[in-house]
Structure 1
């Protein structure tokens, strides 16, 4: 086994200490000869860790096929000194792969004593929001403006490693080491991407609301309500995203929720429809205590679909709470099967900052962050 160790300097707008104590962190990435630990081997494990003074990049390289076991022993010996394992999709690939290799060598090494922090899992819900083409590490690096030297991917390097085992070419070794090194250097550098889930799931303070008329070419206009929020987390790049008809826009530490107000008529449905009559000519329901005095030819028993009254005006889209109930008791919708709920608009709806923040979080929950 060859051990390569060098000090590492990197700057990041996302402090690694947000993941845990610096001394507890171990970033890692592996290179393998295949996709399953049942029959393929690991030939390189790279790590980034802090020795109390500086960051260190350590790589354990199997220069022969017989060196894999030694690579595993060296990695797990280092892992034993750490508490938080940081990686990119390691839960899906690296950790299961190494676990199988330990079983193959009848080793009792495992990951039970460390907490797993998978950057990939944290950012997976952000793919559409940030307009990412895919969730590969190189794509995240491009989004954040990070350049790397190597031009290969792990699959392409399998043949390179096979050729290296036959020739022990220093050039081939350099290619293998460089790819893993760039993955490791890139991992701390992509930490700023974590500011986005932190931003969207963190504490917001409500900064007020404003109404705005959006004109159309035909002379008509649509009234919008803009809710403004502020986060303790600041983003390096802003974004815009739609949740249904709603628009989210963020820049720096500010977020705005743009709500188109529905203007027109909606229906207020009643669940106890057995207590109502449907008025055939008025197209609405009234309680039986009143409906009993209406001519029988003008009424019939209400059903779940016909038990409603109608209301006209301006309405605000209404989200559901985590338990599936509406945020406000009063809710209306266009038709019985409509999923979008509304509440009558008034300036008093968002005078309470806690209500305004709860409103935002219930819509952000749809991003599954």
Structure 2
């Protein structure tokens, strides 16, 4: 086994204190000859960490097939110094892979004593909102405007490693070591994506609301404790939205006119065609039989005129619709609707969920 250790310059791209104390964080990445620790070989583990004076890089490289166990022993011994393990999709690949290697080699190591922070899992719930094509690290880099060129893919390096085991050529060794080092140096470039999780897991505070325009819309502005690096925009009726830095701004089209409230228990109602409304059977019994009929789900409603705000989930009642199959629910608008901080926050999240679904 070969151990490489030296200082490394890592950019300050995200306030790491949100994750934990600097000395508690260990970033890691592995290189393997396949997808399963049962049938392929681990040949490189790389880590970056802060020792109180600066960032350091440490790598353990299997220069022979027999040194795989030594790699694992060195890594797990070193890992005991830290409290939080940071990685990209490590919960899905790296960690299960290493555990399978340990079982195959009869080593009694695990990750029970360390907290795992998977950047991939942290941001995955917001993929649609962010408009990410997929959850590959390259897609996140493109979203953040990061330009990083891989000289070789992990798959291509499998043959490079096999050639190295046969020849021990220094240029092959350098290629393997530098690829892993570049991956670790590149991890800070995607850390800003965590700002979106920070924001969306924190409350939105409504700071203004105003009805505007002759075709009325409601302009709403929320503030958040966190700020995002790349703005998000969406514009398709009835929602126009911009998420910029720490501010969410929305224009919501209001409905002005007549809407219907549909009673859920239509079998208990009569429909009055002349009045175009439904009444409860306890009252309808006194209406002439020729002027009433049994209500159906589509005709069991009462109507209301006014100015209405669309809602994108169950928040206010009674909820009204344009018709029985209407996709949106509405509530009669009043500024007091959003007076409560929790309600205002819930409505902001409804809008963001709606945008996520529309981007699917």
CA distance in 2, matches of 1:238, 1:71: 42
Cα 1:149–1:292 change in 2 (3 A) is: closer
Superposed displacement of residue 242, structure 1: 6.1
Does 1:278 pair with 2:266? no
Q: Distance in 2 between matches of 1:169 and 1:244?
A: 62
Matched, 1:305 2:293: no
Alignment partner, residue 126 of structure 1: 126
Tell me by how many angstroms 1:316 deviates. 0.9
Superposition deviation, residue 365 in structure 1: 5.1
Which residue of the other structure, out of 275, 286, 291, is the alignment partner of 1:293? 286
Runs of 5+ consecutive residues of structure 2 not aligned to the other structure: none
CA distance in 2, matches of 1:20, 1:32: 29
Equivalent residue number for residue 136 of structure 2 = 136
1:16 Cα deviation from its structure 2 partner: 1.3
Question: In the alignment, is residue 76 of structure 1 matched against residue 76 of structure 2?
Answer: yes
Distance 2:346 2:143 in 1: 30
Partner of 1:316: 309
- Deviations for 1:151-185, whole angstroms, at most 9, x for unmatched residues? 22211111111111112121111111111111111
CA distance in 2, matches of 1:149, 1:327: 47
Is the deviation greater in 289-298 or in 126-135? 126-135
Total equivalences in the alignment: 356
Aligned to 2:335: 347
Normalising by structure 2, report the TM-score: 0.91
Matched position secondary structure for 1:190: helix
TM-aligned CA deviation for residue 31 of structure 1: 0.5
Deviations 1:217-256 (A, max 9, x none): xxxx742212101112112221113698433311121111
SS at the partner of 2:155?
coil
Structure-2 change in CA distance of 1:124 and 1:245 (3 Å): farther
Q: CA deviation at 1:339?
A: 4.5
Q: CA deviation at 1:5?
A: 0.9
Tell me if the contact between 1:247 and 1:258 (Cα under 8 Å) persists in the aligned partners: yes
Seen in structure 2, the aligned counterparts of structure 1 residues 353 and 112 have a Cα distance that, compared at 3 Å, is closer
Q: CA deviation at 1:334?
A: 2.6
Where 2:92 maps in the other structure, the secondary structure is coil
Q: Which residue does 1:194 correspond to in 2?
A: 194
Distance 1:289 1:315 in 2: 30
Contact kept in structure 1, 2:13 and 2:188, CA below 8 Å: no
Task: Answer yes or no: is the 8 Å Cα contact 2:310–2:331 preserved in 1.
Answer: yes
2:34/2:40 contact within 8 Å kept:
yes
**Aligned residue runs from structure 1 range 3-14, under 5 A:** 3-14=3-14
1:12 and 1:192 in contact (8 A); partners too: no
Q: Which residue of 2 aligns with 1:148?
A: 148
Partner of 2:203: 203
Question: 2:303 aligns to what SS in structure 1?
Answer: strand
The SS at the match of 2:298 is: coil
| Residues 1:172 and 1:244: Cα distance change in structure 2 (over 3 Å) | farther
Greater mean deviation of Cα atoms: 43-52 or 245-254: 245-254
Kindly indicate whether the alpha-carbon contact (under 8 Å) linking 1:129 and 1:241 is maintained by their aligned counterparts in 2. Answer: no
Higher helix share: 2
Q: Distance in 1 between matches of 2:282 and 2:132?
A: 59
Secondary structure, in 3 states, of the residue corresponding to 1:348?
helix
SS at match of 1:331: coil
For 2:136 and 2:152, locate their aligned partners in 1 and report how far apart those are by CA, in whole Å: 13
Give the SS at the match of 1:157: helix
Tell me if structure 2 keeps the 8 A contact 1:141–1:186.
no
- After superposition, the Cα gap between the structure-2 partners of 1:241 and 1:58, relative to the gap in structure 1 and judged at 3 Å, is farther
Q: State the distance in 1 between where 2:344 and 2:2 align.
A: 58
Q: Which residue of 2 aligns with 1:114?
A: 114
Change (3 A) 1:111 1:250: same
Q: Deviations over 1:202-222 (max 9, x none)?
A: 122211112333xxxxxxx74
Alignment of 1:1-369 (within 5 A): 1-148=1-148, 150-213=150-213, 222-241=215-234, 245-320=238-313, 326-364=314-352, 367=356
- The answer as to whether partners of 2:9 and 2:55 remain within 8 angstroms in 1 is yes
